[in-house]
A and B are shown apart, each in its own frame.
Chain A
Amino acid sequence: MYKAALITQLYLKRGEKMKYVIIGNSAAAVGAIEGIRKIDTDGEIIVISKEPYHVYSRPLISYLLYGKTDEERMKYRKDNFYEVMNCKTILGKEAVKIHPERKEIELDDHTAVHYDKLLIATGSQPFIPSVEGLESVKSKFTFMSLDDAKDLDNSLTPDSKVLIIGAGLIGLKCAEGIRKKVSSITVVDLSDRILSSILDKEGASVVQSHIEKENIEFILNTSVAKFLDHKAILSNGEEVDFDVLVLAVGVRPNINLIKEINGKVDRGIVVDEFCQTSLSDIYAAGDCCESHDITTDQNKVLALLPNAYMMGECAGTNMAGGEKIYDKAIPMNAIGFFGLHLITAGSYEGDVYTQNIPGQYKKLFVKDGLLKGYIIIGNIEKAGIYTSLIRDRVPLSDIDFELICRKPSLMAFSKIERKKKLGGVIHGY
């Protein structure tokens, strides 16, 4: 790390411009660009992306479908972002191979792009399960990119019966997006509950009841055994007729570029706390790589936009010769379905503190004297205070835990802590 910074400094001293290349054009890329430019205003930045669009926020595609936003407002940064940040963009082209010995990227049109520092921010792609008969389904879609959403939208009619495989974040957001445009929606999931990646059984049933009010049917504890063109035969024997199929069973991080050149990968690209891969001068950030989840002390892919941005910023800073560590990664989600909001963070192990009051379902998870995770459904105000307890690893003996269980408040901190937090010493990141 020190060596990399040294080399970068040498470059900058010699007046030569560093060449930063970023593969990917989403949150992690933007984080990197903004991180680099805070330190190096001269270096050349090139962004390469398969999608032809100005950087847009992928989580917004469901909001686009039900009209909460439009393509213009979906842009993650202003139109002049690349200009202001002095970045070159190569859009609509795919990076197919890295040649680390020459420090070159090979594109799908066989052109080469040289780099001094490289960031892999390739994100992930939808996982297509292999199910008998899937290829016979004509009207099938994944729900990941803007093009996916447009294609899906174009296929819908007010009479459409939609079958969504996967009751996770993506599947349910899709359901919310298209509900008003179609006749019926059925969601099938192998798990015993919806949103199994972020909710416990009790919380999941609260959300499920709410969504069911919109006439969305859930079939849980089962998977599709076989597809016919307009029918799914489930493993529990049920049959579901559909016009349109949406596959939302999961995502796979895009790790091939690194894997092919023997960089360390697991489920995702493996990086250190500086967001550097096992290969020199190559960094990775976002959904394509793994983060160290401090609540479980394990590495896992945290496919969340805030995480992607912060990893990108960390990588960019380090690429430009600064020094930034990203050591506060935790799972965190803020999401809403038909007016019911939920916020979750961390992991759900340890002692459970429950509070069920009208308008709010809340669970706090405590282990080793620290808050490890929480689930809040309904009134999510000030949830960020809980998040900060997890990220900052605040010993619960230092605060008024009883008050914190009742409601998230800064009053739970000691007077001295409050003076630091509110009185003029500002902690951000």
Chain B
Amino acid sequence: MKKVYVNEEWCLGCHLCEYYCAFANSNERDMAKALKNVSIHPRIQLEEGNNINFAVSCRHCDDPLCVKGCITGALSIHDGVITADTNKCVGCYTCILCCPYGAISPSDHGVIQKCELCTNNIKGTPYCVQGCPNNAIVFEER
């Protein structure tokens, strides 16, 4: 299955992936309208260091700890993509406790959010990949 991978040798730490992610999941058509005066909490997050940068998003593990730990059953796997039913989620954060990549984060609405490969928004295909200016983020099978 194709997943989002970040090649840290090309990551510039520009944070554009985060903004494109926030835009993709905002349900707006214009990026300026979507993100003006908005403090973003994206589903892909950059880790910055001395000359090394890389962005981390859900790895869509074959054997996911978050799904096993979820107390409501809100996290489940559909066609290999780990999705979160935000209606069911109560914001207990057990998944955040479990995820070894730190890929799940609290959303703005008291529940959790995570990368779902843009399968649940109007973009349809991972938008961080399209927005990366240096081909550091790719969408491929490995």
Interface residues of A (CB under 8 A from B): 27, 31, 57, 59-60, 63, 68-69, 73-77, 305-306, 309-310, 313, 332-336, 341, 343, 345, 380-385, 387-388, 392, 408-411, 415, 418, 421-424, 426-429
Contact = CB atoms under 8 A, between A and B. Distances in A.
A408 B59 CA distance: 17
Contacts of A411: 47, 49, 52
B99 A384 contact: yes
B62 A423 contact: no
B102 A309 contact: no
Given A73-B72, A426-B62, A343 B102 contact: no
Contacts of A59: 71, 92
B34 interface: no
Given A75-B73, A305-B94, A332-B97, 13 more contacts: A27-B71, A74-B72, A380-B97, A381-B106, A384-B95, A385-B100, A388-B100, A409-B47, A410-B47, A410-B54, A421-B101, A422-B5, A422-B101
B74 to A, nearest CB: 9
Contacts, number: 130
A60 B71 contact: yes
Interface in B25-75: 47, 49, 52, 54, 56, 59-65, 68-69, 71-73
11 contacts: A57-B72, A59-B71, A309-B69, A332-B97, A333-B97, A384-B65, A410-B54, A415-B52, A422-B6, A428-B63, A428-B64
Contacts of A383: 96-97, 102
A382 B72 contact: no
A36 to B, nearest CB: 15
Contacts of B8: 415, 418, 422
Nearest to B111: A68
Interface stretch (B83-91, B117-125, B126-134): B83-91
A63 B98 contact: no
Given A60-B72, A305-B71, A381 B6 contact: no
A57 B71 contact: yes
B101 A334 contact: no
B142 A336 contact: no
Contacts of A313: 68
Contacts of B90: 60, 63, 68-69
Nearest to B8: A418
B33 to A, nearest CB: 28
A57 B52 CA distance: 42
Nearest to A333: B97
B72 to A, nearest CB: 5
B29 to A, nearest CB: 30
